[in-house]
Amino acid sequence: MQERRRREEEGRVHIPAFDLAPPSVRGIILSMKSLRAWLGLDREDTHDDAPLRDILETLDHLPSDRARYLAAFAYLLGRVAGADQHVSPEETRAMEALVSEHGGIPEEQAMIVVQLAKTSNLLFGGTANFLVAREFSAMSSYEQKLALMKCLFAVSATDETISTSEESEIHRLANELRIQPDDLIALRVTYRRYLPGMFRH
């Protein structure tokens, strides 16, 4: 308690969501920048870049456009996986595999990217969801948007059930990305056994 009071007196910001990240990942984040930078308080473009900034620094070896695409891709995976306030170990592993595959990056780096994406979703949540979706939409072809939608269904179904919250978030994101109704229906048919209210055989 005294330690917490001392930190507050020194002007440090306590962030419960940040503390949820594993110690190894917190160390990576803190080594990248100060807490003020993590919160995006040291730049004028806070609202646009803050949710993706640490992911982008992890991907600084990639071309800028490719890094922004992969950072947004990972963030949106985390957005849907965490819609029910829980990201299972199975969902996390599926996200890591997809980020590694789509980004062409090593598994170890994909693990860091996914953890940062999950933590960023906890920190920024709804305030950043639309902005990140808009950026992803602007930089992606329709085929890439559809590929993301397939990944969202696949990640949500890894624990053999897609929750109502996850389904709602998938539909919300489909609207933001302007996915054609026929394509969304086709994906729903593919994953129908995992959807809420559907019988599983």
In a domain, 180, yes or no: yes
In a domain, 27, yes or no: yes
In a domain, 96, yes or no: yes
Predicted local distance difference test score (pLDDT) of residue 159: 86
Q: How many CB atoms lie within 10 A of CB 24?
A: 10
Predicted local distance difference test score (pLDDT) of residue 32: 42
Residue pair 120/55 in contact by the 8 Å Cβ criterion: yes
Residue pair 170/153 in contact by the 8 Å Cβ criterion: yes
Predicted local distance difference test score (pLDDT) of residue 49: 61
| 179: CB partners within 8 A, 6+ apart | 145, 146, 149
In a domain, 11, yes or no: no
In a domain, 200, yes or no: no
| Cβ burial 65-97 (10 Å sphere, 16+ → b, else e) | eebbbbbbbbbbbbbbbbbbeebeeebbebbbb
In a domain, 109, yes or no: yes
Between 61 and 91, where is the model more confident?
91
83/17 Cα distance (integer angstroms) = 15
* Parent domain of 32: 16-194
pLDDT digits (tens, 9 = 90+) for 26-72: 554 444 443 334 334 344 444 456 677 777 787 888 888 888 889 89
In a domain, 4, yes or no: no
Q: What is the CATH number of the domain that holds 106?
A: 1.10.3680
Domain count of the chain?
Answer: 1
| 102: CB partners within 8 A, 6+ apart | 70, 73, 147, 151
Nearest residue to 196 (alpha-carbon basis) of 147, 172, 161, 159: 161
121/131 Cα distance (integer angstroms) = 12
pLDDT digits (tens, 9 = 90+) for 99-122: 999 888 888 888 988 888 888 887
